[in-house]
Amino acid sequence: MTKSDPGGASLPRARLEMWHTGNFLEGTGHMKIWIKRWGPAVLIMAVIFFASGTPGDSLPKFGTLDFLTKKGGHMIGYALLAAAWLRGLSYRKSWTKLPAFAAVSLAIAYAMSDELHQKFTEGRSPSLTDVWIDAAGAGLGIGACYLARFFSGRRMEEKG
C-alpha cells in the first residue's frame, strides 16, 4: 500500500508531478534538502573546474615549495570532494562501505575528467600522476570522515 499526499495521489507520482510543473519548491523543501545534500560537492567541483581552467602561465609560483604546494592542493581538494560526495550519498542515513567506495570512485572519475579538461587549457597538460595523487586524497578524505565519526562515537556499519 502506498502512502498518499493530501490530494490523494501516491507520493512518487506527486513528486514527479512537482518536478514536471516546476512546483518542487512549494512547501516541500526539496530544493533546500538538495542544496544541503549535494551543494558542497557541486561547489567543490566548481572550484576545481575553475582552478583547472587557469592557464599555465597564470598559475602562482611557490618557489622551492611549488611541487609540494600544488600536489598538496590536489590532495586536499579531492579529500574534500570525496567527503562531500559521501555526505550526499549518505545524507540522513547510516554509513556503509558502499557509499564510501562510491564517493572515492566518483572523486577519481572527476579527477580523470579534470585532467581531460586541462588538455584543452593553454599551458596545461593532463597528468596520470595527478589522478593518482587525487585518488590518494580522496581515500584520505574518506578515511578522515571515518575517523571523525569514530571519535565522535558513531560507527560505520559493517554491512553494505
Nearest alpha carbon to residue 76 among 4, 136, 6, 137: 137
Q: Domain count for the chain, please give it.
A: 1
Q: What is the pTM of this model?
A: 0.77
Cα–Cα distance measured from residue 133 to residue 143, given in angstroms and rounded to the nearest whole number: 15
Q: Is residue 12 part of a domain?
A: no
Q: Is residue 144 part of a domain?
A: yes
Residue 92 — left, alpha, or beta (φ > 0 → left; ψ -120 to 50 → alpha)?
A: left
Q: Is residue 135 part of a domain?
A: yes
What lies within 8 Å, CB to CB, of 136 at 6+ separation is 75
**Domain residue limits at 101:** 36-151
pLDDT, tens digit (0-9, with 9 covering 90-100), for 39-72: 999 999 999 999 999 998 888 888 899 889 999 9
Q: Is residue 28 part of a domain?
A: no
Q: Is residue 159 part of a domain?
A: no
Residue 74 Cα distances to 48, 71, 147, angstroms: 9, 5, 21
Q: Is residue 3 part of a domain?
A: no
Q: Is residue 1 part of a domain?
A: no
Q: Is residue 6 part of a domain?
A: no
Provide the 8-state DSSP code for 28. S
